[in-house]
Structure 1
């Protein structure tokens, strides 16, 4: 089986998973909802005569404030693409796992992992390509023409690409961790908690500055001005460090997947 065939099969498989669509819906609708709340607040402030300065009153700035929420969707996509392989089928189907059939069809396990990684990349990037412009559109409709756009088109594009890169690398890290854990429960709980509720990496920065080199902390400045944590790496070196973590974890996952039993 060629890599192209393997990848298209994995892409179709991911598209049939309800959890994949839930991840996309959480990212798209959640971001749009947060953007709407921010936009109504901005419109109210403008109506009361607030100064029209800062990104709070711009459509892009209002929408972009909700972009970090998409990290949760990227985690879910990265996890379910692999965890679905380890989920037991119903008793009517023999209670087996999909991974057995998958490895029989694709015995070259590194090729399988590469196909899954490319699937995650495509799904996350497609989600970002829809979510960010939708958020800007929602903000424009609510705020109206009364607010000046303080973010240039070039800056908006760079920041959107930065957020998309962060989402994509996060999804790939989630994929690698799921391979190592051979389950989706632990990666989902740990990574979603770390991305949305309590950042363990952020807490570690209070103990040692080395925590700034952890993947999520290293890449946080890809979100531009949304990062309020002092210290750490700038956007470009941070992206390289986060990418290095991603490649390293995928390499380890590939070795583990190739050497252990299904």
Structure 2
């Protein structure tokens, strides 16, 4: 099977998965709902909140998209090992496991990117409409690109981790908890600077001026470190996936 056909097959397969659409829904509707709630609070009493600009209100909700990206990344691979174990049919059609994993990674990038393209302008527009203040287009574009990159890298990291476990339960729980409730990297950063070099903490400034902890890496170094972690994990995942193939 050619690369384009393998990619088309993986894309079609992913678009038929309810869990993948659940990830899209979490990113889109979750971000929109939080933006509406925050914007309503600002509109009702601007002096009672820490941020009032539409961009700040909108981007305060953007980290929730990380959860959606994580669900997508986990689902793309873990779905192969549920039910009738689709992985057997997948490898029969495409014996090259590196090609399979590459196609899945591209699907994650495409689906998360499209979700970001729809979600981010929509949340910014809603925040602007409810609050009534103007928005700097260059700043909005820059911050959207940074947040979209964070979402994409998070989705790819989730994909790589799922390759190691094959089951989606553990990576889904750990990564979602880490990204939305208790960041293990954040806790580590309280006692050691090493915490700032872990993926989620390294790339956190990609969201722009969203309030975060002091210290750590800047936007560009942080993005490079997070991208480096993503590349390293994907290479390791490809090696593990290939080794399982050769070992039968």
Return the TM-score normalized by structure 1: 0.90
Are the equivalent residues in 2 in contact too, given 1:63–1:135 (CA < 8 A)?
yes
| Correspondence 1:118 to 2:102 | no
- Equivalent in the alignment of 2:7: 7
CA-CA distance at 1:212 after TM superposition: 0.8
Q: How does 1:160-179 map to 2 (within 5 A)?
A: 160-179=144-163
- Equivalent in the alignment of 1:84: 79
Q: Following superposition, which runs of at least 4 residues in structure 1 exceed 2 angstroms of deviation?
A: 54-61, 140-143
- Deviations along 1:112-135, one digit per CA (max 9) or x if unpaired, are 100000000000000000111111
Structure 1 CA distance for aligned equivalents of residues 185 and 51 of structure 2: 28
- Deviations along 1:177-223, one digit per CA (max 9) or x if unpaired, are 00011110000010000000000111111221111111111111111
- Equivalent in the alignment of 1:60: 55
CA-CA distance at 1:227 after TM superposition: 4.0
- Equivalent in the alignment of 1:136: 124
Structure 1 CA distance for aligned equivalents of residues 127 and 190 of structure 2: 36
- Equivalent in the alignment of 1:240: 224
Aligned length: 246
| Correspondence 1:185 to 2:164 | no
Q: How does 1:214-229 map to 2 (within 5 A)?
A: 214-229=198-213
Return the TM-score normalized by structure 2: 0.95
Q: Which runs of 5 or more residues in structure 1 are unaligned?
A: 90-96
Q: Which runs of 5 or more residues in structure 2 are unaligned?
A: none
| Correspondence 1:74 to 2:69 | yes
